[in-house]
Structure 1
């Protein structure tokens, strides 16, 4: 053997891809054309069910769903309901397409839970404490966008300058949101100026709220920014970006904004969803109109 040569070990066998199961195919078609965030959340919930049951969807019965739901006793009521809703949606889809002979989720009855929305609405003072307590301009801009434009965290992270049109007073953003719907959202003049000052490049695909490296802000990074702001303001650890969207709706209605305007800004499909944010103002109530 020539010096320096070594006997070559056999080439490692290529890793075989995991086989695609019937459940995988069903999930793929069920999630087709949904938004990335929806796909990620729904698939995570359904995979959780499959991991608990340990059997394919075709073998899941009502007792399995009930056991899975009961096993989540430590989670919040909203989380349990969301997970169950995802599972019931998939099972109904599978039964409707003929992939399953029966829909085990149809028999699972769940009473309507108590509306706890009021517990997730921050006061204006609390919101301003979060925003003003943030000294870094880029992070502060994110908090302002979430509150003053009422955007979902995914919408704020996805916003590009091609989506924003300058107006005489501020601008208008074309927001592609939940349900694959596009809506026009006003960018107040002060916020527009704030965002322009952060712009790192002039290309149309530049993010409106950039990350520390000038690239689009990730969902996780935005989440951390909100959590830190809430902690600095002495607020509950449960505060999330969606609480700022709740605050936008609540405060706008409290300041007599027309409910249909708030509905259009937030992209609510139903006016009933928007009116949930209406509050009885101090000194006012239907009792005043009885005598």
Structure 2
């Protein structure tokens, strides 16, 4: 059992969040076929805006968006930008669909935020300290999977053994990721050996890292495992699973892996996103970060 994993809450998945009744059809079609994580995050952001303006989207003006942005002055720049982006996306979609007469967000200028990605990249020594401090084999395998592949937390939770293909050296994980895109992620020999060692269910639908009941692991449980490992290693409390993804990208590029290879591993649609970490300098198949 992965530490911290608990049964899911029985609370409603979508509470009464303040979105105007007239906007519910628009929000529903806007979120259609998006991942559960995206639906949850986008709806939360839009609901917050809806409560702030207390009016339907058809009546929203540029001044409303500006006022909401100003009300978040104490929030982190990345948080404010993420919330504004969600609302702007909804308004643009509604206008294109003909649901809204105007796109009130089109004229809103978003400030270029300071790139503080470097503050969220752990050193290799820090990651190895997290791994060394985790004595439970299954929790250790979870941390190794996140760092050794750069998977998003949702991708790691959804990974099943039917998605895993053994190769002469290591293997390949077929990942259904963000934006409904499928990619093939390289699994190093040492990582394959570790996750295979904690496998208890030989069925193809068995999760690579199972939850407390043998089913798919919940993201909240993964977050708890990561934060406890970070605390043991003396790292900041805001360390998350996504920091291990950042570390994977940075450390692979530092090891000289081609930027296009790292881009493919991470599933970045834009090469510019990958090159934020650093620049590749040599042609190689991929470093085994866990060896």
TM-score grouping bracket, smaller chain normalisation: 0.7 to 0.9
Q: Which residue of 2 aligns with 1:132?
A: 132
Structure 1: how far apart are the matches of 2:139 and 2:154?
15
User: C-alpha offsets along residues 10-34 of structure 1, whole Å, 9 cap, x if unaligned?
Assistant: xxxxxxxx99932111001011111
Q: Which residue of 2 aligns with 1:175?
A: 175
Runs (4+) of structure 1 exceeding 3 A deviation are: none
- Structure 1 residues 204, 256: closer, same or farther in 2, change over 3 A? same
User: C-alpha offsets along residues 21-63 of structure 1, whole Å, 9 cap, x if unaligned?
Assistant: 3211100101111111111111111011001111111121112
Q: Which residue of 2 aligns with 1:72?
A: 72
User: C-alpha offsets along residues 101-145 of structure 1, whole Å, 9 cap, x if unaligned?
Assistant: 111111111121111111111100011111111111111111111
The SS at the match of 2:173 is strand
Question: 1:72 touches 1:80 (CA, 8 Å); kept in 2?
Answer: yes
Alpha-carbon offset, residue 212 of structure 1: 2.9
- Matched residue pairs, number? 264
Q: Normalising by the residue count of structure 2, what TM-score does the alignment of the two structures yield?
A: 0.87
Alpha-carbon offset, residue 259 of structure 1: 1.0
The SS at the match of 2:25 is helix
**Superposed counterparts of 1:27-42, under 5 Å:** 27-42=27-42
Q: Normalising by the residue count of structure 1, what TM-score does the alignment of the two structures yield?
A: 0.87
Question: 1:200 touches 1:214 (CA, 8 Å); kept in 2?
Answer: no
The SS at the match of 1:183 is strand
Which protein shows a greater Rg?
Answer: 1
**Superposed counterparts of 1:1-291, under 5 Å:** 21-278=21-278
User: C-alpha offsets along residues 247-274 of structure 1, whole Å, 9 cap, x if unaligned?
Assistant: 1111111111011111111111111111
Gaps of 5+ in 2: 1-15, 282-291
Alpha-carbon offset, residue 188 of structure 1: 1.3
